[in-house]
């Protein structure tokens, strides 16, 4: 616990986002819909399977989750 690996960054590409709400329904604690587009109220969060799922399921690949310490992309996988 409390190592830097435990911090994830979540970024939303609001240009790519088409506001399906799939992400907000999948990871309601990490992502919400604001003015029709996905929004991460906390850009840095603790590890969350739901967040990975949300990024994987976005049809536009508009959500990217990275490891804060290393910048390694955790989702979506390519």
Partner 1 sequence: MTATQQVRAYPFSEEPGIDIDPLYGALRRDEPVSRVQLPFGEVSWLATRYEDVKTVLTDPRFSRAAAQGQDQPRTREEMTYEGIIGLDPPDHTRLRKLAGKALTARRVNEMREGAVRIANEFLDDMETKGSPADLVEHFALPFPIIVICELLGVPFEDRAKFRVWTEGLTSTAQPIMSLVEELFGYMGALIAQRRAEPTDDLLGALVKARDNDDVLTEQELLSITGVGLLLTGSETVSTHIPNFVYALLKSREHFELLKAEPGLIPNAVEELLRLIPLNPAAMFPRYATEDVSLGGVVVKAGEPILVSLPGANRDAEIFTNPEDVDFRRANNPHVAFGHGPHHCLGAQLARMELQVALEVITSRFPDLDLAEGDEGVEWKKGLLVRGPKMLRVKW
Question: Applying CB under 8 A, which of residues 33, 34, 67, 68 lies at the interface with partner 1?
Answer: 33
DSSP per position, 46-70:
---HHHHHHHHH-TT--EEEEETTT
Which of the ranges 1-9, 16-24, 40-48, 66-74 carries the binding residues for partner 1, by CB under 8 A? 16-24
Number of residues that bind partner 1 (CB under 8 A): 19
14 binds partner 1 (CB under 8 A): no
Where does this chain bind partner 1 (CB under 8 A)?
A: 19-22, 24-26, 28, 33, 36, 49-50, 53, 56-61
């Amino acid at each position: 616990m409390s190592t830097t690996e435990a911090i994830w960054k979540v970024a939303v590409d609001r240009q790519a986002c088409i506001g399906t709400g799939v992400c907000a329904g999948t990871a309601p604690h990490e992502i919400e819909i604001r003015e029709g587009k996905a929004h991460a109220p906390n850009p840095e969060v603790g590890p969350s399977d739901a967040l990975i799922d949300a990024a994987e399921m976005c049809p536009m690949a508009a959500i990217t989750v990275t490891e804060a310490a290393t910048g390694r992309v955790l989702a979506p996988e390519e």
